[in-house]
Amino acid sequence: MNDSVMRRPFGKSHGCRFGEHIDLNDLASSDIELLNAAQLIRKHRPGAYIFAQGDEPQGIYCVASGYVLLGRIGAFGDKIAFGVVGPGEIMGYRSYFAGDRHAATARALTECRVCLIPGRAMNRLLDRNTTLGHQFLATLARDPGPPDGLLLRAHHVPARVRLVTLLLILRDRFVVTGAEDSVEFDLPIGRRDIAALLAMRPETVSRTIKELEDDGIAIFSDRHVVVPYLGRLYDIAGLDRLN
């Protein structure tokens, strides 16, 4: 990758509008100077990686020109793209603010120029300027972010795994007895709501519960659940692929 690095004055002219909801006009000129001094603009050719899943976030990226594809690799090795970022839009901010490693990979779709606002500069701006903070809150709140949790998985992951995952979540909250490796708890919701939570039909919930009972993984009496070997739940939720 012969991506080149260069500096350019910050302003509306070069395309870094910072997305729809963030308006640089709200920045004081001293803030804009800070941006100018701190930003790094890089040029990428199609296919180049701008950042990759697992990387430590360096700051916030803003696409000046061209298009970028966001994707991620799920817990099961499923590759999924979930967004296209175009001129004037920002990316990478979710992981940055969360303080986690990047949950997504950004790959140049076309030739493109991307500028990076280093985290240090970003934080200084946010402390000076509460309006900018409000705008970022709004931007984050509107952006659904990378698909994760039950939902994405819902697509490729069998019903049994989804159900077991839900059991693990509810276990924490509604435990009755927690001896050794076995657990006993009460579901706060009926089959109907379980079905809704897992995006499937009540009938399928019934059948899947029966499967779990047949396999000795959990015993259900109405809303009461007994799990003899908690480890098995983790096995199923973690990586099935085998069974």
Binding site for a second copy (CB under 8 A): 67, 69, 71, 78-82, 84, 86, 93-100, 109-110, 123, 126-127, 130, 133-134, 136-138, 140-142, 144-152, 154-156, 169-170, 173, 188-189, 193, 196-197, 199
Minimum separation from the CB atom of position 158 to DNA (A)? 4
DSSP letter (8 states) at residue 125: H
With respect to a second copy, which residue has the nearer C-beta, 202 or 228? Answer: 202
DSSP-derived letter for residue 102 is P
Could you tell which of a second copy, DNA, none binds residue 134, using a CB distance below 5 to 8 A set by kind? a second copy
Select from a second copy, DNA, none the partner in contact with residue 9, using the beta carbon and a kind-dependent cut-off of 5 to 8 Å.
none
117 near DNA (CB under 7 A): no
Q: Which of residues 201-220 bind DNA (CB under 7 A)?
A: 201-207, 209-210, 220
Cα 178 from chain centre: 31
DSSP bridge partners of 90: 62
Indicate whether 46 belongs to the interface with DNA (CB under 7 A): no
- Angle at 44 (CA atoms; ends 41, 45), nearest 5 degrees: 160
Minimum distance, C-beta of residue 125 to DNA, in the bound complex (Å): 40
For residue 171, the surrounding DSSP H or E stretch is helix 159-174
Closest CA to 89 of 21, 5, 9: 21
The stretch near DNA (CB under 7 A) out of 6-14, 18-26, 79-87, 196-204 is 196-204
Q: Single out the residue of 190, 215, 234, 239 in contact with DNA (rule: CB under 7 A).
A: 190
Residue 131 makes CB contacts below 8 A (sequence gap 6+) with: 26
Q: Which does 229 bind (CB under 5 to 8 A by kind): DNA, a second copy, none?
A: none
- Whole-angstrom distance, CA of residue 64 vs CA of residue 128: 25
**Cβ-proximal residues to 172 (8 Å cutoff; 6+ apart), any chain:** none
Angle at 118 between CA 117 and CA 121, to 5 degrees: 90
Secondary structure letter of residue 87 according to DSSP: T
The answer to the question of residue 86 lying near DNA (CB under 7 A) is no
Residues that bind DNA (CB under 7 A): 158-160, 190-192, 199-207, 209-210, 220
